Amino acid sequence: MSTSVAPQLRLLHVHAHPDDESSKGAATTAKYVAEGVEVMVATCTGGERGSVLNPKLASDPDIEHNIAQIRRDEMSRAREILGVQQVWLGFVDSGLPEGDPLPPLPEGCFALEDPKVAAGRLVQVIRSFRPHVVTTYDEQGGYPHPDHIQCHRITVEAFNAAADPYQWPEHGTPWQAAKLYYHMSFHRRRYEQLEAAMHEHGLEYQVPTRDNDPYSYGRLTTFVPCAEYFPVRDEALKAHATQIDPDGPWFAVPLAIQQMGWPTEDYQLVMSRVPTMIPEDDLFAGLRPDSPVPEFII
């Protein structure tokens, strides 16, 4: 267990749905919680239109009829496992439209909100929690789910608006977060290393196909070593039982091979109010009292 360092540091993750906080950056979260950093998750929607993705539960009609409450309960368990604070922004899940052509998004859903207006709820959270670091998804949402793309939009808007005293004065004292990151852990470099490690142990593994791999590949700036917290990540993931099959692809690579083959969770630094050296190994690089003055800064 890491010793407490700078407990005044605060980290805000902004995610689209319950379970995203466990599938993206959860080991990083657990690492910083163990160090005494305050971590909050802002969840944009309740996942009300999500499907039951765990085949072991897919045939239970009670789950489908009560999916909104079940996903809130799953989020509560994951929150306890990760040791984070969590707030619901209260937007309505947009669902994932499928078909050709794609059907229209449902009226009143999160993805159809005006990002400048929707950002107000997050501005209030930022001004209340006062994070030093904020994370969210890239312009493609990490993958092109309309709620993930909208989550990106409102986070970037709120990151800037929260510091502007002329915007949202009713939401508290302005606060300028120091750094904004995008999650980038699902990229080809990682998958290729895991594939090589699996083959070294005589195991089969096929690199997942991701259309946006070239988009994320060259944008990696920050590699947070957190392999010892992968078990916490997995426990938090399994808390979202309707979304995660414990025998499914999330766990196709044995834990020990993951820890050896790619022991970091990865990010792109996109905004920084403090000098830092790239590549980083800490989301709080440049913010700790003992941070060195870099020769090359961003």
Give Cα separations from 36 to 27, 96, 97, 136, 256 (angstroms): 14, 37, 40, 21, 26
pLDDT digits (tens, 9 = 90+) for 75-84: 999 999 999 9
Omega of the bond prior to 174 within 30 degrees of 0, cis? no
pLDDT band at 205 (very low <50, low <70, confident <90, very high): confident
Q: Which residue has the higher pLDDT, 100 or 248?
A: 248
**Is the residue at 36 inside a domain?**
yes
pLDDT at 212 over 60: no
- The model's pTM: 0.92
Share of the chain above pLDDT 90, in %: 76
DSSP 186-239: S-HHHHHHHHHHHHHTT----PPP-TTHHHHHTT--EEEE-GGGHHHHHHHHHH
**pLDDT, position 225:** 98
In a domain, 296, yes or no: no
95-99, 125-129, 175-179: least confidently modelled range: 95-99
248 in Cβ contact with 209 (< 8 Å): no
Q: Is 230 left (phi over 0), alpha (psi -120 to 50) or beta?
A: alpha
Average of per-residue pLDDT across 184-194: 90
Domain count, the chain: 1
Retrieve residue 140's tokens: 């493609």
**Residue 277 in domain:** no
Which of 44-53, 86-95, 223-232 comes out lowest in average pLDDT?
Answer: 44-53
Distance of CA 114 to the CA centre of its chain: 22
What is the residue-averaged pLDDT of the chain? 91
Neighbours of 55 (CB within 10 A): 10
Residue 5: pLDDT band (50, 70, 90) is very low
Q: Is residue 94 part of a domain?
A: yes
pLDDT of residue 211: 54
Distance between CA atoms of residues 144 and 21, nearest Å: 17
Report the candidate in 293, 287, 254, 283 with the shortest Cα–Cα distance to residue 25.
283
Q: How far apart are CA 199 and CA 146, in angstroms?
A: 36
Q: Looking at the domain assignment, is residue 243 inside a domain?
A: yes
- The CA distance from 86 to 171, in Å, is 18
What range defines the domain where residue 22 resides? Answer: 10-272
Determine, yes or no, domain membership for 235: yes
Q: Does residue 292 form part of some domain?
A: no
Residues with Cβ within 8 Å of 119's Cβ and at least 6 positions away in sequence, in order, are 153, 154, 155, 157, 158, 161
Q: Which two tokens stand for residue 165?
A: 């005293």
Q: Binding site membership for Zn(2+): which residues? A: 17, 20, 148
Across the range 151-159, mean pLDDT stands at 98
pLDDT, residue 258, reads 96
186-189 contacts, C-beta under 8 A, 24 or more apart: 186/142, 186/210, 186/216, 187/213, 187/216, 187/217, 187/220, 187/266, 188/213, 188/217, 189/217, 189/220
User: Does residue 24 fall inside a structural domain?
Assistant: yes
Other CB atoms within 10 Å distance of the CB of residue 85: 14
Q: Which residues are annotated as a binding site?
A: 17, 20, 148
Average pLDDT over residues 226-242: 97
Residues 205-218, mean pLDDT to the nearest whole number: 67
CATH of residue 235's domain is 3.40.50.10320
In 3D space, the residue among 142, 145, 128, 121 whose CA is nearest the CA of residue 85 turns out to be 128
Structure-block tokens of residue 27 = 């080991």
107 pLDDT exceeds 50?
A: yes
